[in-house]
DNA sequence: CTCGATGCAAAAGATTTGCACCCGA
DNA sequence: TCGGGTGCAAATCTTTTGCATCGAG
C-alpha cells in the first residue's frame, strides 16, 4: 500500500494494484486490510450512503474528514476538539477511546460544475 | 415505530415488532425504513466495527452520539459546534450539508463490570 | 375493482472463510 | 521440510428487488 492521500475501498485498491500484481485477489486484500487494521496501520471508515468501507493509512496527525457527497472526494480536516472530549468523558462518566467527525458537503469543483 | 430512545438495527426492529405483527417481514421493514429515510423521518447511522446499519428517529434537536464499544449502548450528546462549520465551509470552499460526530468509549456500567 | 403495501424468494453486493497449494527460509 | 501467504470457490450477512397476492377504500 502506497502513501495514498485519499482513503480507498478494497475494490479501489484491488484495481490500483492489478497491473503490477495481476494475481492478487480481492479476498487477499481484505485479509491484509484486516491484519493492518488490527495492527493499527489502517483505519476503516464508513461513509454515509456508501456501502463499501474505505481504508486509510493511519498517519501521525490525528484528523477528521470532509467528504464531497457529489464526487466522493475525501480530504483531511483538523480535529477541532481541545478539551471537549475530556469534559464529555467526565460529564457522562465514560472512558472515551475514540471519536470520529465527518463533515459532508459539496466541494468547490462540484459547486461550479453544477451550474 | 415507537418513540425509541436508542437507534435500532432493522433486525432489532424486526424482533421488537414480531410479537404484535408476526407476519411483518424484514424486507418490509427495510422498505419502510428507506421510505422514512427519504422523507427525513429516520436517519441511518453507521457504527464502527458494526456491520448492520442503525436507524434513529429524527428528533427536533440536532445531536450526536456517544457509543459504548462494550455493550453497544448509544446515547445522544449535544452538538459542540458553534461557528466551526461556517469557518470550515469558508476555509475549504465547501457547501457543508451535513456532519456527524461519533464518540466511542466505555460506559460507566461496563467499566464497573470489567473489574 | 384498483392501488398500494406486504410476503416471499431470489438476487445483489460486500466481506469472510475453509481448504489446497505454492514459495521462500 | 515447514509455515505463512495466497488463490479459489463457496459461504455468510446485510440489504434490495421482482413478482404475486392481499386487503382497504
Asked if A71 and A55 sit in the same domain, the reply is: no
Number of structural domains (chain A) is 2
The CA–C1' separation of B88 and C4, in angstroms, is: 45
Asked if B18 and B51 sit in the same domain, the reply is: yes
| Nucleotide closest to residue B51 (CA–C1') | D14
Q: Are strands B74-78 and A8-9 parallel, antiparallel or unpaired?
A: unpaired
Per-residue pLDDT tens over the stretch A12-49: 999 999 888 888 999 999 999 999 999 999 999 999 99
Q: Are strands B95-106 and B42-45 parallel, antiparallel or unpaired?
A: unpaired
H/E stretch holding A98 reads strand A95-106
Read off the CATH number of the domain in which A24 is found: 1.10.10.10
The CA–C1' separation of B56 and C15, in angstroms, is: 25
Q: What values do phi and psi take at A94, rounded to 5?
A: -110, 155
> Residue B67 in contact with residue A81, Cβ under 8 Å?
no
pLDDT at A3 over 50: no
Distances (CA, A) of A10 to A29, A68, A81, B80, B94: 7, 20, 30, 33, 27
Asked if B38 and B69 sit in the same domain, the reply is: no
Residue A55's DSSP bridge partners are A8, A44
Domain's final residue, options B38, B59, B80: B59
Judge if the beta carbon of B34 is closer than 7 A to nucleic acid strand D.
yes
Asked if A52 and A75 sit in the same domain, the reply is: no
Asked if A54 and A70 sit in the same domain, the reply is: no
- Specify burial of residue B10 (Cβ count, 10 A radius: 0-12, 13-18, 19+): middle
Asked if A55 and A1 sit in the same domain, the reply is: yes
The CA–C1' separation of B49 and D6, in angstroms, is: 25
SS (H, E, C) chain B: CCCCCCCEEHHHHHHHHHCCCCCCCHHHHHHHHHHHHHCCCEEEECCCCCCCCEEEECCCCCEEEEEECCCCCEEEEECCCCCHHHHHHHHHCCEEEEEEEEEEEECHHHHHHCC
Nucleotide C13, nearest residue via CA and C1': A51
Asked if A32 and A71 sit in the same domain, the reply is: no
Taking contacts as CB-CB distances below 8 angstroms, the residues of chain A near B66 are 88, 92, 94
pLDDT: is A88 or A3 the higher one? Answer: A88
Asked if B1 and B55 sit in the same domain, the reply is: yes
Which of these, A14, A11, A13, A58, lies nearest to A39 by C-alpha position? A58
Asked if A8 and A47 sit in the same domain, the reply is: yes
Which candidate from B94, B96, B103 shows the least CB-CB separation from A99?
B103
Asked if B82 and B115 sit in the same domain, the reply is: yes
Matching residue, cell 492478487: A24
Which of these, A105, A43, A42, lies nearest to A72 by C-alpha position? A105
Asked if B53 and B80 sit in the same domain, the reply is: no
Domain's final residue, options A40, A59, A78: A59
Nearest CA in chain B to A85: B103
Supply the range of the domain harboring residue B32. 1-59
Interface test with chain A among B62, B78, B86, B100, by most A beta carbons within 10 Å: B100
- Pairs across A and B, CB distance < 8 A: 101
pLDDT at B4 over 70: no
Which candidate from A46, A49, A106 shows the least CB-CB separation from B94?
A106
Reported as half-sphere exposure (CB side, CA atoms, 13 A), residue B38 has a value of 5
Residue A42's DSSP bridge partners are A57
Read off the CATH number of the domain in which A84 is found: 3.30.1490.190
Q: How far apart are CA A53 and CA B58, in angstroms?
A: 25
Strand D nucleotides within a 7 Å radius of protein CB atoms: 5-10, 13-18
Global pTM reads 0.92
Residue A98's DSSP bridge partners are B104
| Inter-helix orientation angle B10-18/B26-38, to 10° | 120
Taking contacts as CB-CB distances below 8 angstroms, the residues of chain B near A106 are 94-95, 97
Per-residue pLDDT tens over the stretch A39-85: 999 999 999 999 999 999 998 899 999 999 999 999 999 999 999 99
Asked if B52 and B72 sit in the same domain, the reply is: no
pLDDT at B3 over 60: no
Amino acid at each position: 500500500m502506497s502513501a495514498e492521500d485519499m482513503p480507498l475501498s478494497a475494490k479501489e485498491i484491488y484495481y490500483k494494484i492489478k497491473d503490477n500484481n495481476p494475481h492478487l485477489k480481492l479476498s487477499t486484500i481484505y485479509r491484509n486490510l484486516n491484519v493492518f487494521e488490527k495492527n493499527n496501520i489502517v483505519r476503516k471508515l464508513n461513509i454515509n450512503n456508501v456501502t463499501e468501507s474505505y481504508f486509510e493509512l493511519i498517519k501521525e496527525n490525528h484528523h477528521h474528514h470532509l467528504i464531497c457527497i457529489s464526487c466522493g472526494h475525501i480530504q483531511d480536516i483538523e480535529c477541532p476538539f481541545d478539551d471537549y472530549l475530556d469534559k464529555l468523558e467526565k460529564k457522562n462518566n465514560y472512558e472515551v477511546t475514540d471519536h470520529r467527525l465527518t463533515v459532508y458537503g459539496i466541494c468547490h469543483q462540484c459547486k461550479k460544475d453544477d451550474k
